[in-house]
A and B are shown apart, each in its own frame.
Chain A
Amino acid sequence: MSHEFLQVLWFILIAVLWVGFYFLEGFDFGVGMLLPFLGKKDEERRAIINAIGATWDGNEVWLLTAGGATFAAFPQWYATMFSGFYLALFLLLVALIIRGISFEYRSKDANPAWRTLFDWMIAVGSFLAALLLGVAFANLAEGVPINAKMMYTGNLFTLLNPYGLIGGLTTVSIFLLHGANFLGLKLDGELRERVNGFAKKIYFAAVVLSLILLVTTYIFTDIYAHLGFNPGIIPVVGLIALLVSGYFINRKQEGWAFILVAVNIVFTLVTFFMIMFPRVMISSIDPSYSLTIYNASSSAYTLSVMSIIALVFVPIVLIYQGWTYYMFRKRITAKKETLVY
């Protein structure tokens, strides 16, 4: 296999890992943000957490794998992005830490203040993580100041530009909707009704923000030069899926709503990778300073070894993770007697 082929393959594989992460952890983040608002009583909150309890940690590994794969396949991308987005990533880490620990610790003490504290840490951590990821991807598509030495020359506030924030808020709203749809599939009784009420409200915010993101993407990124006015079928299908999901949310058909919003998430993120390709870090200083899959990658040998490992193990992971969802497919009732704490 030629080096170019492997470089393209690994760009696709890393996109797949991020897409997997967005699809899976997207609803986990949404569920986390909804937790304190949706759950009025303690057992309701526990039921909401249990909807993702067995699987959230496995979902988060998609992020770790994406990070590790970026290091292995495109070390210059990993080095530039992780050092460049230093404080943003530090905040992301804090968000993931306070959220992850809270799932495990919140029920380990009966003190209501203890539980409320950890519930809010789940919500705030999920919100902050979703926001920062959205900001990061918007900036990756928009371009950031990178000099001739592949070094990021901006700071945290460079990333918090209008387009970055639109990307962040859109991500938050879509993840909220995704989480609500997922909970609609996992809960029953009064909670399920309440979730549906939330989903209807969030839907409008998500649509409005997505439309704003669409327009601003044509203003702030080079999508027009790169993909043309008609960007192809993928972003269009993504947007249509989101619009149509409203119909099913109204009819309380959570299954279809979940699938359509998932399609929106997957296709929108794929669009961002299409805007970037073959660049991985777009320089706003000079296009020739951009990192590409060609100047940021590992050697052909390393990419070949990693390809074999990925092609063997990614399917295995998909099978056992999928099987986990199948095993825990039953709806969860907010009753103390039946909940696992």
Chain B
Amino acid sequence: MDPLTLSRWQFALTTVYHFLFVPLTLGLGWFVAFMQTRYYQTKDETFHKMAKFWGKLFLINFAIGVVTGIVQEFQFGMNWSEYSRFVGDIFGAPLAIEALLAFFMESTFLGIWIFGEGKVPEKVHLAAIWLAAIGSNLSALWILLANGWMQHPVGYVIDPTTGRPMLNDFFALATNPKGWLFFGHTVVAGLAMASFVILGVSAYHIAHKSNVDFFKRSFQIAAIVGLVAAVLVVIDGDAQGKYTYQTQPMKMASIEALWNTEQPASFSILTIGDLSGKKEVWALTVPDVTSLLACNNLSCAVQGVNDIQAQYTQQYGPADYVPLMVFVYWGFRFMVLVGFLMALLAILFLIAMRGDIAKAKWMKWVPWVIVLPYIATTSGWLVTEMGRQPWIVQGLLKVQDAVSPNLTTVDLLISLIGYVLVYGALASADFYLMKKYALLGPDAAMTESVDAAPSVVGGQD
């Protein structure tokens, strides 16, 4: 395999992996801050335990996000040096701002939160978790503004001598609707993920009759937040779809497997492509719905893949401008389906809470809901990033022209295999500890459980 293919695999693997951990950090931080605030206000020991218990899981998860985040910042230069040269005048700024504004805040105040209880004033300790949560979400904002620029470049002119984009409007970069739509989507997706992790873990304990009161209260908070977050994810996602229709028509057409321009455009419920994933074999469609998704009315024209391909060929020269449609199409469907399922489940949980959920037989199946947000966020990223292909910066630079020219296949094999091994080991350690502390329950988190044996609390049924 050539260095370009290996670099693409490496970027995809490290980024998807990183983003398995990030949304939980983004969402769970708010929960812990909220719980600790309630404890501060009410002095109710249950809230104290909640902050400690969910805080423990937050920290185990956070650590992986931090260490894999360094890789993200470095690999633009390491693997994509031509990209870095091309966009350096613009893209470096949000990365530097992210480190300066967000990473410092997040890591410094999280350090105070971990080590400060009983050592710093209670108010400071409370402020620390809020600042850490704000810091991590701020870092999401700046990295998504950077990503938003790759999807929809704004605020630049092309330098006539170098042919590279030069920043001429920082305000446009910082207010790029693409980035802010991503940010909204990501923050509420993080809250939804945290809600479903809390729901799943709580359900396990409720079903096993351990700390039922503690976990019922956690369950209730998470069900409410989970519902609100899932609804907001859908609303933001819809807005994103409309904006994608304007800014990245090829991505939109690929999401819908819309081959030819239609007015009004039908929505594909199921499309079977041929093996190349680039040609329709059979499709089941609903009339007009894609027009509704794209521009809020039932009659507008939505451009199809073939027409955009022809248009891009004329505009940018002959090349294949169609993304790997099978991923984009199915990724979108997985994301949306799972998102709606999460909203539906949150409603069902809230209804069930009107009775005694501790007696519900189905509780023991609820822990499986934890996998749902992971499916949704991962497929969402695959849609966003793969839907941009072959561009690395929409309309300006292709991925194939962005790779570091000095790297050899051997370099790439060493690093790719290295990452797979290290990341695999990290995931095992993370999974082991998450499971252990989730099952140990709140009392272990209170005593810091230095010597806690890795055993399950509560009887098996």
Option from B116, B170, B407, B453 in Cβ contact (under 8 Å) with A54: B116
Q: A61 and B107: CB pair below 8 A? A: yes
Name the residue on A nearest B412 (C-beta). Answer: A86
Please tell me which stretch of A106-114, A203-211, A216-224, A258-266 contacts chain B, meaning at least 4 of its Cβ atoms lie within 8 angstroms of it: A106-114
Give the interface of B toward A (CB within 8 A). Answer: 59-60, 62-64, 66-68, 70-71, 73-74, 76-79, 81-82, 84-85, 87-93, 95-101, 103-105, 107-112, 114-117, 119-120, 124, 166-168, 170, 404-407, 411, 414-415, 418, 422, 426, 429, 433, 436-437, 448, 450-454
Give the interface of A toward B (CB within 8 A). Answer: 50, 53-58, 60-61, 63-65, 67-76, 78-84, 86-87, 89-90, 93-94, 96-98, 100-101, 103-105, 107-111, 150-153, 298-299, 301-302, 305-306, 309-310, 313-314, 317, 320-321, 324, 327-328, 330, 336, 340-341
Of B59, B77, B114, the most chain A CB neighbours within 10 A belong to B77
Q: B77 and A81: CB pair below 8 A? A: yes
Q: A100 and B107: CB pair below 8 A? A: no
Q: B92 and A110: CB pair below 8 A? A: no
Q: A64 and B73: CB pair below 8 A? A: yes
Name the residue on A nearest B102 (C-beta). Answer: A61
Q: A57 and B110: CB pair below 8 A? A: yes
Q: A324 and B111: CB pair below 8 A? A: yes
Of A67, A75, A82, A321, the most chain B CB neighbours within 10 A belong to A75
Using known A-B contacts A64-B70, A83-B404, A302-B167, determine if residue A309 contacts B100 with beta carbons closer than 8 Å.
yes
Give the docked Cα–Cα distance between A90 and B64 (Å).
17
Q: B88 and A101: CB pair below 8 A? A: no
Q: B406 and A310: CB pair below 8 A? A: no
Option from B62, B414, B450 in Cβ contact (under 8 Å) with A110: B450
Seed contacts A97-B70, A305-B170; 11 additional CB < 8 Å A-B pairs: A55-B111, A58-B107, A60-B70, A61-B103, A78-B77, A79-B77, A82-B76, A86-B415, A299-B167, A305-B93, A306-B93
Q: B74 and A93: CB pair below 8 A? A: yes
Using known A-B contacts A64-B103, A65-B103, determine if residue A80 contacts B81 with beta carbons closer than 8 Å.
yes
Q: A57 and B107: CB pair below 8 A? A: yes
Name the residue on B nearest A320 (C-beta). Answer: B108
- B322: min CB distance to chain A, Å: 29
**Cβ of B120: which chain A residues have Cβ within 8 Å of it?**
327
Name the residue on B nearest A105 (C-beta). Answer: B429
Kindly list the 6 A-B residue pairs having the minimum CB-CB distance in the complex, ordered from nearest: A75-B88, A82-B77, A72-B92, A71-B92, A68-B96, A83-B81
**Cβ of A90: which chain B residues have Cβ within 8 Å of it?**
78, 414-415, 418
Name the residue on B nearest A99 (C-beta). Answer: B67
Q: B78 and A83: CB pair below 8 A? A: yes
Interface SS, B side: helix
Q: B77 and A83: CB pair below 8 A? A: yes
Give the docked Cα–Cα distance between A111 and B455 (Å).
13
Using known A-B contacts A55-B111, A57-B110, A81-B77, determine if residue A72 contacts B116 with beta carbons closer than 8 Å.
no
Q: B407 and A75: CB pair below 8 A? A: no
Using known A-B contacts A71-B92, A87-B411, determine if residue A57 contacts B66 with beta carbons closer than 8 Å.
yes
**Cβ of B108: which chain A residues have Cβ within 8 Å of it?**
55, 57-58, 61, 317, 320-321, 324
**Cβ of B87: which chain A residues have Cβ within 8 Å of it?**
75
Name the residue on B nearest A72 (C-beta). Answer: B92
Residue contacts A-B, CB under 8 angstroms, 9 given: A55-B108, A64-B73, A75-B89, A79-B88, A86-B404, A86-B406, A93-B70, A93-B71, A105-B60
Q: B77 and A317: CB pair below 8 A? A: no
Q: A83 and B100: CB pair below 8 A? A: no
Using known A-B contacts A79-B77, A110-B452, determine if residue A328 contacts B88 with beta carbons closer than 8 Å.
no
**Cβ of A111: which chain B residues have Cβ within 8 Å of it?**
454
Of A94, A330, A336, the most chain B CB neighbours within 10 A belong to A94
Give the docked Cα–Cα distance between A150 and B85 (Å).
10
Name the residue on A nearest B450 (C-beta). Answer: A341
Q: A82 and B78: CB pair below 8 A? A: yes
Q: A87 and B119: CB pair below 8 A? A: no
Name the residue on A nearest B411 (C-beta). Answer: A86
**Cβ of B73: which chain A residues have Cβ within 8 Å of it?**
64, 67-68
**Cβ of A78: which chain B residues have Cβ within 8 Å of it?**
76-77, 84, 88, 92
Give the docked Cα–Cα distance between A341 and B88 (Å).
42
Give the docked Cα–Cα distance between A68 and B84 (Å).
11
Option from B100, B124, B414, B426 in Cβ contact (under 8 Å) with A68: B100
Q: B63 and A101: CB pair below 8 A? A: yes
**Cβ of A306: which chain B residues have Cβ within 8 Å of it?**
93, 96
**Cβ of A108: which chain B residues have Cβ within 8 Å of it?**
60, 433, 436-437
Give the docked Cα–Cα distance between A306 and B96 (Å).
9
Option from A75, A96, A340 in Cβ contact (under 8 Å) with B67: A96
Name the residue on A nearest B403 (C-beta). Answer: A83
Using known A-B contacts A61-B104, A313-B101, determine if residue A302 contacts B93 with beta carbons closer than 8 Å.
yes
Using known A-B contacts A89-B78, A298-B89, A341-B448, determine if residue A83 contacts B406 with beta carbons closer than 8 Å.
yes
Of A104, A313, A320, A327, the most chain B CB neighbours within 10 A belong to A104
Name the residue on B nearest A94 (C-beta). Answer: B422
Q: A105 and B89: CB pair below 8 A? A: no
Give the docked Cα–Cα distance between A153 and B404 (Å).
12
Option from A74, A97, A98, A310 in Cβ contact (under 8 Å) with B100: A310
